[in-house]
Amino acid sequence: CTGGRRGRRLPLKLVRFRDRLLLAVWLLLAVVLGISFLLVRQANLRQAHRAVESDLQAGAVLFDQLVRGRLDQLALGARLLSHDWAFRQLYGSSADPADPVRHRTLLSGLENYRARLPEAAFLLLVSLDDEVLADTSRPDQPPRAAFAHPWLLRQAESAPEMSATAFAPWRDQPVLLLAVPIQIPEPAGWIVVGFALDAQLAGGFRALAGLDVTFMERPESGPPRLIASTLPAATQPVRA
């Protein structure tokens, strides 16, 4: 009799209740695990976003320091040049740069001085009438062409230190321009230094900060344009 009782099957209703209970437990466990996964995922995303934002902020500070440091070097070199006696004699003796011989002499002297400023992409001499007298980036350009950014000189004229810096397009490339006066001994013209935002600057920043950087230009019309990037070619933004 005892063995017969042990061999009896559970009632059908009890079996269904047990199955439903197990199913409910599994469903509850799946819901708990799903919610835990979502919460952990959201926490990880927030942490990742905070880490990326912190890296970007630190990178922005380092990039600003890098540019300012190079700009300070350019400003010092340009001011030394503007007060250099030999340069002032050269500039003063080339008052009429329309003469081909004088223009070549002025351009040659300017190029020699540019070689002393390794951070400078180019040097320009601009008259008080906003005319380009010599341009190391375009040595074949006739003198007395209109300077493309006279507003930079107006800013320098109104500044206490008689200098100004600004980002501006130059030869279809964005550059940082620095303008300082030529003192003979009163201001007699302008030295404009161009600092390029190029692959060399991007590589220097990556070596300093350990962060990749991409320079993009946003023109007034048309899509953004890639200037330089330390990212692999396959992951760079599309070049317009």
State the greatest distance between any 2 C-alpha atoms of the chain, in Å, as a whole number: 130
pLDDT of residue 204: 78
**pLDDT value of residue 154:** 93
- Put simply, whether the predicted model's pTM sits higher than 0.85 gets the answer no
Instruction: Please list the rounded mean pLDDT of every run of 10 residues in the chain (240 residues).
Output: 52 64 81 86 83 75 77 79 75 65 80 82 89 87 86 91 85 84 80 84 79 78 78 62
What's the pLDDT at 67? 76
Determine the pLDDT at residue 108. 83
For residue 96, the model assigns a pLDDT of 65
